[in-house]
Every structure is written in structure tokens, then in C-alpha cells.
Structure 1
């Protein structure tokens, strides 16, 4: 009788890791959309226009019906033959200083910090009408970037040439979440006008598509927190340990049945 009890205790002890390893996590995105084969809904969220801030590097070009008249208002790179794009951009771009000011040819120091690109474009156009007949201004970010860190396959800082990116696109650029990424707690860290904002989004919930933080702003940081299993692992992941214990459990049951 004692032998039977000991065998039963051994089996229960061995099977416990298997029971805990079977706990399920929701690894899907937008899980509460349901099983509809086709779903159509109005898009109410529009991306916020980025605000020009200290440290932004802008490419500003001026054109006019008279190209010769517009030429003095365009900064010409002194190293146009360089193959290093970062070097070319740093010379062609206008760096916004700590006071939100840029040094513009002929016009001098102009404050554009705190404005959207559209507002800055209008301000420059109004100033240029004193010199040109029909000035047209184009503004682009040269350092529009976002950073994705944490439990993703390829954490990095990414340049965004399109100047528009949402959370899902950013995660895609970083290779998507690993199985250890906590999908219900994605942090978006934004700093603007001396204020830091940390928003938490749940990838399991379709409501993130309407979140004001779904579209990322320049220099945003996306952080994917690891689940507890990832935090607790040392040299082996918990899943690998569970697999090994599962094999041991199965082998032990076979041995006990033959005794």
C-alpha cells in the first residue's frame, strides 16, 4: 500500500509542471473583433500633425516661377558628392535649436518650434512674399524616427521617410513581438513641450485602433514589456524547462507502468 501511495505522489509531482505549462495566453491581435468574415466600419481617428520641436532636423526648400530668385533661399550642401546620407542631411537640414529657432538664408533667425509643418510652411511663405513673386515652400523631417524596444525580434531605432507610422507598422518593422511580449501592456512614451506622456495600449483589444496614441509621433518610444516567465528565466526559458519535464514525466509513467 505504501508503495502505491509513493508512486501516486511521484506521478502527481511530475505532472504538476505540465499542468502549469498548459496555461494559455492570448497571443492574437484585436481578439474582440469576433468571427465576422467581413467587417466595415468608419475610420474616425486621424493622425495628429507632428509639432516641430527642439532637435528636429528639417529639410526646407523654396521654389518660385523665377528659379534664380529662389536660389539664395535654399541651403546648398557643400558635400553633395558624399555617399554618406547622414553627412549630406546634416548639411542640408535646418536644426531647430533649444528656443525653437532656425537660421534661414536672408530671412535670418525664425521661430518655428511649436508649430506644425503646415503652420511653419505658411509662416515662411508669408515672409518670402516680400522677396519672391509666388514662393512655394516644402518642409520635410530628416530625423523622423521611432524606437521599438523590449520583447520584439529586432529592437532598434527606425527612420520613417513617410512621416506617418502607426503602432502596428512600428512593431512590424521590429519583427513583431516574441512569444514573451506582454500584448496587453504596450507602452508608448512621448516627450513634447517639456511634458512626458506614457500611454498603455492593449493589442488584444480592437479599441487601440481608435486610441490617440495609435499613430506615433516623431521620437516616440515603443516598449514591449516581457511576461513573468521571461523575467524569471535564467539560462533556459520556462517553456524549454516544461518540455524537458514533460518528457521526463512521460518516461516516468512508462517506467512505473512496467514495474
Structure 2
């Protein structure tokens, strides 16, 4: 594939290296505003830029007929606008808050546990997410996706940073060193605790998942998430 990269931070550079190892060619590395982007050379674009830049990057790709995969978080107030444009143009767009294959299986485990817990009175859900000190958004997009997965099963109606309450899931965010990412979901009762956790050892798993998503997206039309890439059963609503 001929790939355009939007955002050339840690993830962008890792995707660049891994793409070459997998036999792909990176034809553009866009790390800021630019009028000279070779859309005509791209078969697919990957956006891991900043929240303020991501919507316009995605829109420009779609308007130029380039399928685009985005892993940038913190811009989802414009998600509906972007997906509506994609559908009106007959384009292809895939968004995920986390491209790790293991984390996407963890999303499924989280939803299954949340469904089981609706039959167990006396437990209160809480979450903790830990990332490196350079991560700007808190809670992480992945933590929000996990919270929304719990809410979708019933019993909770909202999440909130740090503070919980009746029907509200508290999410604690920690920023420590160079931590790639840890997400913990717990259910506490007066007598015991049930806990599941996903820990990323390196960021390479995120880069690999994003490339697999890009390889899958080429030649398709529509709005997708990692559930589609992994062919997981059930609701096909894109991961937000």
C-alpha cells in the first residue's frame, strides 16, 4: 500500500517503521498544516495527529477519495459530521480509540462482565487508566470506550472523572513516566472485589493494529471500527 501519515509523533514514526517492514510505502508524512499533501499518491491514510487537527485531516482525505484510519482521540464532538460526510461521499473511514488487538478483545470481555454484573446487586463499578506523562487527554479515549461499554449493558447512565455516584462510573486517570497504557475495571461489594485489567507492554501493538486496520479498509466503503476488522459478532457500532 501507499500510505499517507498525518501526525508524526511517537505513533506516526512507529507506524512508518512497521509499514516499511510489512512492504508498504509511506508517500507522505504530514506533521502540521500543509497545502502540499499528495493525496493522489495515497491508497490509504492514517491519522494520529492532534485533536484540533484530526477532523480536518480526515475531511480532506475523504474529499480527495482517500480511505482514512484515525486513532486520534479528543475530537469526537465532530464524529457525526465526519461520518455523515464519509457516507455522503461513499468513502471509507475507520475510527478506534485503541488499535491493540488485545485491547479490542478486552472491550468484549468488559461488555460481557458488565452484562453479568447487572444480575449481581451490591457491586459498584470503577475504573483506573494509567498512561505516560505526555498523554494530553484524560480520561483516555480507551477508558471512555470501556465506560460506554458498561453503560450500554444497563445499570449505569454516565461516567465521571474521579467522582462517582449513583449510576455513575468514576474514572481515575494517572500519568506516570513512559507507561504505554493500563486499563483496569473493578466491581466492589462490601465482601469482595472483581477486577479485570489490560496492560500494554509496548506501543508496537497499537501501530500493528492500525496497519492491519488500514490493510483491511482499502477497497471498502462505509464507517467502521475494530469490531469489523476482527470480525467480532454482535453490534457493529463503530468504537467511539
- TM interval, shorter chain, is under 0.3
Greater Rg by CA: 1
TM (norm. structure 1) is: 0.20
